[in-house]
Amino acid sequence: MQEELPIKKAIIPIAGLGTRFLPLSLAVSKEFFPLIDKPIIQYVFEEVKKSGIKEIVFVVSPKQKMIMNYFTKSPELEKLLVKRKKDKILEELKQFESLFEDITFSYVVQKSPLGDGHSILQAQKLVGDEPVAVSFGDDVVVSQEPALLQLMNVFKTCNAPVIALKSMPKEVIGAYGNVAVEKIAHGLYKIKKIIEKPAAGEVQSNLVIVGKYILTPEVFKYLKKAAPSQKGEIILGEVFDAMLNDGLPIYGYEVKGEWLECGDKLKWLKSFFYMALHDEKYGKELKQYLRDIT
């Protein structure tokens, strides 16, 4: 008998304004920027599915309609491809549509961009009183075992919130959420403190937070009573810190795999090149092309 998964639902927040990608983000939501020939959001979705999760809650902005259309079958397009005898393209479309046949999608709206914690809180009613996975739409981890599944396996033993971590060079840690930790086992830590974008003298370790989590119902209780920051936002890292101050345990796990960031233009371009150059179909020819033009 197959073991029942501890996590049945995932929240994917994609309600950000995408200001770092202006003016392109005025026309295309950043989660639909491509990595090779698929949008970023499809990699995030596929990781959720490969982790065994069947229910996904998207947190969207009022103007985001593209995501709803993307994960919906296109019968009119299928008929057109049949009529024009585009058999190969039709087969590719059907293979894509088969990815989400057994997945339930729900959507909630974050009316104003009031922080990552506020975004997650909007999904609370659909999540209910149970643990949930969270995967933000601009972090992709390329790994044999899905990053969320790695966190879920940790959750089975600790039964407390789990944060995805990655080791980074000291000189760039100031751009991330940094953690003070107590090492428990290889790759597994007990979080002691979270410092958002620390100054040089505030860096606690070489570990930073990746946008993937397992959250427990207690996290939502703290999100509900959290005071907005000076910018008027509810920040998930600050909520975690409040939980730590109250003595509640939070764990961190250094996920295995290549972390591809897509949060700004340069990071997205680097991620695009990484995926393209490692791709079985396009990688060899692209490497030769780069050698020819440089």
CA angle 218, 140, 236 (to 5 degrees): 25
- Helices 283-293/265-277 angle, 10° precision: 120
Among the listed ranges 6-15, 69-78, 240-249, which one has the minimum average pLDDT value?
Answer: 69-78
Note the pLDDT tens digit of each residue in 131-161.
999 999 889 999 999 999 999 999 999 999 9
What's the length of the chain?
294
The tokens describing 261, both together, are 């960031």
pLDDT score, position 5 = 57
CA angle 103, 110, 30 (to 5 degrees): 70
Please give the average per-residue pLDDT across 86-97, as a whole number: 90
Distance CA 273, CA 35 (A): 8
pLDDT score, position 1 = 36
Confidence of residue 248 (pLDDT cuts 50, 70, 90): very high
Distance CA 294, CA 289 (A): 9
What rounded mean pLDDT belongs to the chain?
Answer: 92
Confidence of residue 101 (pLDDT cuts 50, 70, 90): confident
The tokens describing 197, both together, are 């974008």
Rg (CA), the chain: 20
Q: Go through the domains of the chain in sequence order and give each one's CATH number.
A: 9-293 (3.90.550.10)
Confidence of residue 85 (pLDDT cuts 50, 70, 90): confident
Among the listed ranges 61-75, 137-151, 249-263, which one has the minimum average pLDDT value?
Answer: 61-75
Please give the average per-residue pLDDT across 167-196, as a whole number: 94
Confidence of residue 75 (pLDDT cuts 50, 70, 90): confident
Residue 28 CA neighbour count, 13 Å, CB half: 11
Residue 80 pairs in a beta bridge with none
Please give the average per-residue pLDDT across 208-232, as a whole number: 93
Say which residue, 108 or 65, is predicted with more confidence: 108
Please provide the DSSP assignment of the chain as one string. Answer: -PPPPS--EEEEE-----GGGTTGGGTS-GGGSEETTEEHHHHHHHHHHHTT--EEEEEE-TT--HHHHHTS--HHHHHHHHHTT-HHHHHHHHHHHHTTTT-EEEEEE-SS---HHHHHHTTHHHH-SS-EEEE-TTEEEE-SS-HHHHHHHHHHHH-S-EEEEEE--GGGGGGSEEEEEEEEETTEEEEEEEEES--GGG---SEEEEEEEEE-HHHHHHHHHPPP-TTS---HHHHHHHHHHTT---EEEE--SEEEE-SSHHHHHHHHHHHHHT-TTTHHHHHHHHHHH-
Say which residue, 29 or 212, is predicted with more confidence: 212
Please give the average per-residue pLDDT across 49-63, as a whole number: 93
